[in-house]
Amino acid sequence: MDLAFTPEEQTFREDIRAWVKTSLPKDIAHKVHNALRLSRDDHQRWAKILGKKGWLGHGWPKEFGGPGWNAIQKHLFEEECALAGAPRVIPFGPVMVAPVIMAFGNAEQQQRFLPGIASGEVWWSQGYSEPGSGSDLASVKCKAEKQDGKYIVNGQKTWTTLGQYGEWIFCLVRTSNEGKPQTGISFLLIDMTSRGITVRPIKLLDGESEVNEVWFDNVEVPIQNLIGEENKGWTYAKHLLSHERTNIADVNRAKRELERLKRIAKTKGVYDDPRFKDEIAKLEVDVVALEMLVLRVLSAAKSGKNSLDIAGLLKIRGSEIQQRYSELMMLAAGPFSLPLIEEAMEAGWQGDFPGGELSDAPLAGTYFNMRKTTIYGGSNEVQRNIVSQFVLG
């Protein structure tokens, strides 16, 4: 047992840190450190910088052009990016669909789709959730019927994150109604410029449109866009969900945001209020304990001994922590978190924010937005079902 990273891992970390420092555009880092709004262009710029270096698919094996890093190297890379103020890599392409294409796609599909994902040129979206499906993913209704060597897709997807920017979308579609709901689902890649697709942004409680509804009305999809076998999509979807288990905890971002919380609390004069400071202290222990939990999973992955199947715990705890820091930031600002001035959440606004602290502007919005974290990705109640199944049988 040893807490320290190896000298090789330390060097690796320092190399990443140096590269991020010179490569991450300052204006983007500024926005991330201050929770200002990121545009499509901000995300794309960073994605392409990573892509050029070969690190957008930082979890990819060498045979597909990735760096072939182990679990710890991936963690160190993600941590250095997060602490430096890099935006989260939009995961749908490089983290979610790419591993499915690698594992279950054919050679032609791999050659056709992976380069655009690796370079950050093509924006992918996820078409999993449907109206009414909630955390019950297998209840897919959106159907694909084979006709004249094509699939005709009809139905609706929803909660499609940043789908308004999407160029391609990977979808779970129903190709058969026989057997259990899990059978009869297929995994289809769909060009979002196809005729019959309508995307409507959903305005969320924070005023932003982070998610979308997507309608499919007799959309024609070439049969070559089916991944693997028809009716086996559920297996592929599960593979996708089991991929990258530790980053659902988002502990690296939590460390960065804990630093920001302390800065805000100092600015607002509540850092020296013992009642407030103790709440930060509790969160600090929560973050350290979560990091230890993540490191335990990484260590188990590295050595292959004592595998630690606690993805559910990581999701629950990570999301609770995200909600808590956003909550404390808002509470630190108190009444000055209440003015709703959209322009003040954009970088470069020169106005006079009520109370005089521009950093207060996005706090309530972030707090409202973070309520999603215990709902998405399998609600925390569903995660508790999974954990209790593991413990109680």
- The residue behind tokens 């409507």 is 200
**DSSP characters over 52-120:** HHT-TTTT--GGGTS----HHHHHHHHHHHHHHTPPPP-TIIIIIIHHHHHHHS-HHHHHHHHHHHHHT
Q: Which two tokens stand for residue 274?
A: 């013992």
In angstroms, the CA 3 to CA 44 distance is: 36
370: helix, strand or coil: helix
DSSP conformational letter for 143: E
In contact, 192 and 166? CB cutoff 8 Å:
yes
Q: Which two tokens stand for residue 145?
A: 């019927």
- The residue within the footprint of other proteins, chosen from 9, 213, 220, 244 (CB under 8 A), is 9
What lies within 8 Å, CB to CB, of 227 at 6+ separation is 100, 101, 104, 105, 109, 170, 186, 187, 188, 189, 233, 236
Q: Report if residue 272 touches other proteins, rule: CB under 8 A.
A: no
Q: Report if residue 299 touches other proteins, rule: CB under 8 A.
A: yes
- The residue within the footprint of other proteins, chosen from 270, 298, 321, 329 (CB under 8 A), is 298
Closest CA to 57 of 9, 107, 110, 126: 110
Q: Report if residue 293 touches other proteins, rule: CB under 8 A.
A: yes
- The residue within the footprint of other proteins, chosen from 139, 296, 349, 353 (CB under 8 A), is 296
- Please report, as residue ranges, which positions from 56 to 115 form the binding site for other proteins (by CB under 8 A): 72
Count of residues in contact with other proteins, rule CB under 8 A: 53
Which among 18-26, 56-64, 311-319, 326-334 is the span making contact with other proteins, rule CB under 8 A? 311-319
Q: How far is the CB of 231 from other proteins (least distance, A)?
A: 31
Site string for other proteins, 314-353 (x = CB under 8 A): --xx------------------------------------
Residue placing its CB nearer to other proteins in the complex, 179 or 393: 393
Q: How far is the CB of 298 from other proteins (least distance, A)?
A: 7
Q: Report if residue 204 touches other proteins, rule: CB under 8 A.
A: no
- The residue within the footprint of other proteins, chosen from 14, 27, 278, 343 (CB under 8 A), is 278
In angstroms, the CA 360 to CA 351 distance is: 13
Which among 32-40, 308-316, 325-333, 335-343 is the span making contact with other proteins, rule CB under 8 A? 308-316
What lies within 8 Å, CB to CB, of 18 at 6+ separation is none
Structure-derived torsion over alpha carbons of residues 241, 243, 244, 248, reported in degrees to the nearest 10: 10
- The residue within the footprint of other proteins, chosen from 100, 249, 280, 329 (CB under 8 A), is 280
- Please report, as residue ranges, which positions from 169 to 198 form the binding site for other proteins (by CB under 8 A): none
Q: Report if residue 285 touches other proteins, rule: CB under 8 A.
A: yes
Q: How far is the CB of 260 from other proteins (least distance, A)?
A: 10
Q: Report if residue 310 touches other proteins, rule: CB under 8 A.
A: yes
In contact, 236 and 199? CB cutoff 8 Å:
no
Q: Report if residue 291 touches other proteins, rule: CB under 8 A.
A: yes
Residue placing its CB nearer to other proteins in the complex, 40 or 282: 282
Residues that bind other proteins (CB under 8 A): 1-6, 9, 72, 255, 258-259, 262-263, 274, 277-278, 280-282, 284-285, 287-293, 295-296, 298-300, 302-303, 305-306, 310, 312-313, 316-317, 381, 383-385, 387-393
